[in-house]
Structure 1
Amino acid sequence: MTLSAPPATPLRRALFRAPIWLYRLGLGPLLGRRFVLITHRGRSSGQARQAVLEVVGRNSATGAVLVAAAYGPRAQWYRNILHEPRVLFQVGGRRLRGRAEPLPPGDSGDALAHYAQARPETARALTRALGREVDGTPESYRGLGTDPVEGVPVVRLAPERGEP
């Protein structure tokens, strides 16, 4: 079973990118702490690129957030951060410089299982939208995170030291 493809039509791409415009208009706080705007560098162009991702976990003590590469290792933002891990990220109204660090597969699986327990309806809807079948158990989400080919890697966005 493969992940569905990213949006292919101009209208679908525009709808998927609408949250970026909310952030650009200064309305990011309306999305709360469940979403993050990540600004990263294109691996070929070097140009700044942006994506809005759902936060699947957080460490309040360090300010780090976890995000999932829903389209797997082929997601463009994910491929870009592997090449250049320095990023800017914004959660709500808080903007930070930091590093994007992919978690090891076991930790990715644990993070997805924890997220699915915390937000079961959202997790089921997202996996269904991606063309993935899960049975709702923590083990099925853990398997989704640990699969290196068809899985969903999780990335930690960690603020630079000294960032508030």
Structure 2
Amino acid sequence: MTHRDTAPHRPQSAAGWRRMAMRLPVMLFRAGLGPLFGKRLLLLHHTGRVSGLDHMTPLEVVAYDPTGASWTVASGFGPQADWYQNLRHRPKTVIQVGNHYNAVTARFLCPDEGAEVMADYARRHPRTARRLCAFMGFPPKGTEASFREAGRAIPFVRLDAAHGPRRHNRGQA
């Protein structure tokens, strides 16, 4: 059992109106309104490991590296999240940022890398980081050590662009 399996609390998946609210970004991305989210949200396209069906999941970008064309995201529902498991099964996929599509390969960060990512995120977004920690069941102490502890337990994924950022819409050649 890894440290990530022993996190204090794994939130339950959303249901009812909360699920609908969480799906709203998918509808906005599909309507061509992805630029409303800036670089803060991306839309992950992934294939179901059992069904083989295409799925779309909006995710918050925790870190973005424009030089390396990579986006780091976190699985707030832990390693059991369907999108996370689907990427484990098939790490090559496509993301949408704004109205731009990028072919990416998922790389799963180790706990120490997750600690660094979370500490950096907390410096840039302290209130959101405290809320995320509380949501995950970690005491929202707000210290760098507590953010690093949370980062070791939260599964982070870096999505590396295949050939640098692509600057055209999906339907174009």
TM-score (norm 1): 0.91
Q: Give the equivalent residue in structure 2 for 1:156.
A: 158
Aligned residue runs from structure 1 range 64-143, under 5 A: 64-143=70-149
Bigger drift between 28-37 and 153-162 goes to 153-162
Q: Which amino acid aligns with 1:129?
A: F
Identity %: 36
For the pair 1:2 / 2:9, whether they are aligned, the reply is yes
Change (3 A) 1:26 1:41: same
Secondary structure of 2:163's aligned partner: coil
Structure 1: which 5+ runs fail to align? none
Kindly tell me: are residues 124 and 162 of structure 1, through their superposed partners in 2, closer, same or farther at Cα, counting changes over 3 Å? closer
Amino acid of the residue matched to residue 11 of structure 2? Answer: S
CA deviation vs aligned residue, 1:8-60 (integer Å, no higher than 9, x gap): x3221111111111101110000110011000111101111111111110111
> What does residue range 40-51 of structure 1 map to in structure 2 within 5 Å?
40-51=46-57
Distance 1:54 1:96 in 2: 16
Deviation at 1:3, TM superposition (A): 2.1
Q: Amino acid of the residue matched to residue 93 of structure 2? A: V
Instruction: Name the stretch that deviates more: 88-97 or 123-132.
Output: 123-132
Q: CA RMSD in A?
A: 1.4
Q: 2-side partners of 1:23 and 1:152: how far apart? A: 26
Does the Cα contact within 8 Å between 2:131 and 2:140 map onto a contact in 1?
Answer: no
**Structure 2 unmatched ranges of 5 or more:** 1-7, 167-173
Q: Find 1:17's aligned residue among 12, 23, 29.
A: 23
Go from structure 1 to structure 2 and tell me whether the alpha carbon gap of 1:55 and 1:131 turns closer, same or farther (over 3 Å shift). same
| Structure 1 residue runs of 4 or more that deviate by more than 6 Å after TM superposition | none
Q: In the TM superposition, what is the alpha-carbon distance from 1:98 to its structure 2 partner?
A: 1.0
Counterpart AA for 1:60: P
Structure 1 letter corresponding to 2:91: P
Change in CA separation of 1:126 and 1:162 when aligned onto 2, cut-off 3 Å: closer
CA distance in 1, matches of 2:115, 2:165: 28
Instruction: State the shift of 1:133 in Å.
Output: 2.0
Q: Which has the larger Rg? A: 2
Cα deviation for residue 162 of structure 1 reads: 5.6
